[in-house]
């Protein structure tokens, strides 16, 4: 997923900075403010973002081996 696709809430930035919390731990524990993820086919993405104005495209699912990649 693309970490620049949404704004990380200031409170989570504060927790990470003041608590010296690793970024991977912040994503694992707090999901960095994403809230909910809806996965759909690329053909439906435009329809969903029109129907859900606060929705953002945060990445794509790509078949590969290895770990999750954050850009």
Per the CB < 8 A criterion, the answer to whether 68 and 2 are in contact is no
Low-confidence ranges of the chain (pLDDT < 50): none
d(CA 24, CA 42): 27
Return the pLDDT at 70. Answer: 65
Return the pLDDT at 68. Answer: 72
């Amino acid at each position: 997923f693309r970490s620049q696709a949404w704004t990380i809430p200031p409170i989570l930035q504060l927790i990470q900075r003041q608590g010296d919390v690793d970024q991977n731990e912040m994503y694992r524990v707090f999901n960095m403010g994403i809230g909910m993820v809806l996965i759909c086919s690329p053909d439906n993405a435009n329809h969903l973002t029109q129907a859900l104005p606060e929705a953002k495209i945060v990445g794509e699912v790509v078949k590969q081996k290895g770990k999750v990649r954050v850009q």
